[in-house]
Amino acid sequence: MLTRKQLELLEFIQKRMMKDGVPPSFDEMKDALDLRSKSGIHRLITALEERGFIRRLAHRARAIEIVKLPEALEKKFGAPAGDSAGSFAPQVIEGDKTDPPRGAMPVDVIHALELPVMGRIAAGVPIEAISEVSHHVAVPGSMLSGRGEHYALEVKGDSMIEAGINDGDVVVIREQGTADNGDIVVALVEGHEATLKRFYRRSGMIALEAANPAYETRLLRDDQVKVQGRLVGLIRSY
């Protein structure tokens, strides 16, 4: 059973797909449903995914596959031609095919260096800090900015997606214990939770800010947060 808003969103996406061949952007969905922020759309999308009506495509920003329609919408729109399985072909929401991140470069194996991948880092709900090497990855030497040790982490979650960091990406981190406002850092929270977020100092507190409106900014005391490194590079596999 879908709520009225969930049904409205699914119908709006289907109408746009039939008209343009791709779903609407999150901003268009927000305006169509008269919501104040995109966080409401994120919640509706998550609910539709949990109920099996849509599927979000991994490692791709804002991409959706419609799996099925409720009976009321199937009668209204009908099933797609040639779809014997009853599901829809994958469609990419506007904004998925973005330009490469600024400073993107090919990995030159001649000048590449191997870094240890220290497990996974949460870009979402914090997970337990990980300190064991899972494998190694080759990165271009020019990506290793400044002095000091570097390591890599595999990203888990989508809280930094609007900063161009997707689930499954590998981030390159330079070890350091300080950060400037706006830096994307690996933060250790209360000694046991590790997360990847933007760092800010606000009125004597530390703010760990996501790059996804579906996640709230966490405000913590200075003694609750320990910076373990700053983001200096990103590696993505397609």
Q: Which active-site residues does the annotation give? A: 159, 197
Containing H/E element for 38?
helix 38-50
Report which of 174, 216, 226 is spatially closest to residue 37, judged by C-alpha positions.
216
- The torsion of the CA quartet 178, 181, 182, 183, rounded to 10 degrees, works out to -10
Distance CA 198, CA 86 (A): 42
Q: Which helix (H) or strand (E) holds 92?
A: strand 91-92
Phi and psi of 91, rounded to 5°?
Answer: -130, 145
211, 162 in Cβ contact below 8 A? yes
Distance of CA 103 to the CA centre of its chain: 20
Distant-in-sequence, close-in-space partners of 35: CB < 8 Å, separation ≥ 6: 41
